[in-house]
Amino acid sequence: SQQGEEDPQALSIQEGENATMNCSYKTSINNLQWYRQNSGRGLVHLILIRSNEREKHSGRLRVTLDTSKKSSSLLITASRAADTASYFCATDEGDFVFGPGTRLSVLP
């Protein structure tokens, strides 16, 4: 198993700004997923990007994957207060192991 590591661990921005979070991993992957978790709640799947993809969009979310650098980024555009949550990346190598997450706070 391997762990994704998110960066930064905490991020505070104003509503309307963009938020960028990064994730790094150590070995080869088949896919990488980003999840959101509101405080005390379950995981919400945001987006999955496969190893042969470089960029993927879903609404205000944009995910990039650079397999040569073993890193991924999640961009949330035009952030809203409702985007306040913890964001995790998870990679696979037989099983998923989550990184510590980025706690995003969007201030109104």
Partner 1 sequence: GAVVSQHPSWVICKSGTSVKIECRSLDFQATTMFWYRQFPKQSLMLMATSNEGSKATYEQGVEKDKFLINHASLTLSTLTVTSAHPEDSSFYICSGRGQGIYNEQFFGPGTRLTVL
Which is nearer to partner 1, 74 or 99 (by Cβ)? 99
Looking up tokens 């037989």 gives: 94
As to burial, measured by CB atoms within 10 angstroms (0-12 exposed, 13-18 middle, 19+ buried), residue 21 is buried
Smallest distance, Å, CB 62 to partner 1?
A: 19
Which is nearer to partner 1, 25 or 88 (by Cβ)? 88
Smallest distance, Å, CB 53 to partner 1?
A: 11
47 binds partner 1 (CB under 8 A): no
Cα angle 70, 97, 11; round to 5: 70
Give the integer Cα–Cα distance in Å for 76 and 59: 9
Q: Which of 7, 11, 20, 48 binds partner 1 (CB under 8 A)?
A: 48
Strands 102-107 and 10-14: parallel
Summarize as ranges the residues that interact with partner 1 (CB under 8 A): 1, 30-31, 33, 35, 40-43, 45, 48, 50, 88, 90, 92, 94-101
